[in-house]
């Protein structure tokens, strides 16, 4: 599924085409997504897009009338198309823009969403955003914070850092990679890890996410960026998807297990 770097890549890809542009028409072909598309979304018709922001894996499109919140779900994508390009199967929503482009939402599994945030509503009060932890690339997320949140936790460190209430956007791919870079075994209890190791882990979480964003996200199955082009970070992965293959540091075969119903790959020699 699209993770934080993929969502950030999409936001950056579509932002230059949307900011300052008016939404002339909204076409909803399939309103039954993860949550039904609210009728209020039509209030965006005729509105000028003031800006785009990302919070966790939501893309927020701001206008004077309110804010639209896109979530790509497991297989969703937003891309810009020409007005004469026919809608395909699973092209569920179009925004016709005043610059002649169409912002098109494609989602075969329909686990994504288009939500509505009324004007003046504080993000901290919104039911979808209020419970979220800090952004991983912000100064609010550091080793001291993660260490304090981990005290007394018996859950595996991998599932701990993937908890959106602890920190947003550290999905399965990037948790695998950051733990490998930090030399921490994903099954280790979060409460047993020292502050020094958390300081190192946070550095690598920030590094792997920033690198993925720079290179355009990670191509997995359905994901494409806002310009229709795939990301390329998948070519750089050290452990994810490489179970049984030699570790790139020590050549020991990588171990693959199921942890929290997700695939976890680690080196039994390099990660303790």
Report the binding-site residues for DNA: 90, 109, 153
Annotated binding site: 90, 109, 153
Exactly one of 2, 136, 186, 230 is catalytic; name it.
2
> Does 165 participate in catalysis according to the annotation?
no
Exactly one of 11, 57, 79, 101 is catalytic; name it.
57
> Does 3 participate in catalysis according to the annotation?
yes
> Does 177 participate in catalysis according to the annotation?
no
Exactly one of 3, 6, 8, 177 is catalytic; name it.
3
Q: Answer for the pair 27, 91: CB distance below 8 angstroms, yes or no.
A: no
> Does 2 participate in catalysis according to the annotation?
yes
Exactly one of 12, 34, 55, 262 is catalytic; name it.
262
- Residues marked as catalytic: 2-3, 57, 262
């Amino acid at each position: 599924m699209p993770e934080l770097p993929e969502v950030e890549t999409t936001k950056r890809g579509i932002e230059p085409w949307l900011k300052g542009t008016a939404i002339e028409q909204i076409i909803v072909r399939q309103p039954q997504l993860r949550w039904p598309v609210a009728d209020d979304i039509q209030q965006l018709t005729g509105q000028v897009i003031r800006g785009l922001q990302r919070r966790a894996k939501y893309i927020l499109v701001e206008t004077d009338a309110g804010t639209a919140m896109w979530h790509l779900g497991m297989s969703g994508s937003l891309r810009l198309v020409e007005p004469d390009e026919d809608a395909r199967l699973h092209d569920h929503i179009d925004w016709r823009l005043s610059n002649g482009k169409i912002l098109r939402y494609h989602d075969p599994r329909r686990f994504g969403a288009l939500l509505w945030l009324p004007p003046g509503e504080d993000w901290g009060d919104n039911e979808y955003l209020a419970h979220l932890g800090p952004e991983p690339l912000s100064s609010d997320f550091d080793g001291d914070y993660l260490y304090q949140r981990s005290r007394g936790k018996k859950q595996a460190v991998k599932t701990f850092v993937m908890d959106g209430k602890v920190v947003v956007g550290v999905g399965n791919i990037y948790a695998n990679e950051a733990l490998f870079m930090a030399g921490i075994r994903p099954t280790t209890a979060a409460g047993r890890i020292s502050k020094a190791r958390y300081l190192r882990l946070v550095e690598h979480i920030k590094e792997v996410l920033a690198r993925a964003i720079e290179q355009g996200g990670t191509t997995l199955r359905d994901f494409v960026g806002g310009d229709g082009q795939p990301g390329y970070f998948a070519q750089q992965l050290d452990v994810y998807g490489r179970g049984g293959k030699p570790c790139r540091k020590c050549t020991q075969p990588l171990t693959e297990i199921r942890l929290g119903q997700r695939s976890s790959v680690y080196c039994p020699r390099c990660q303790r």
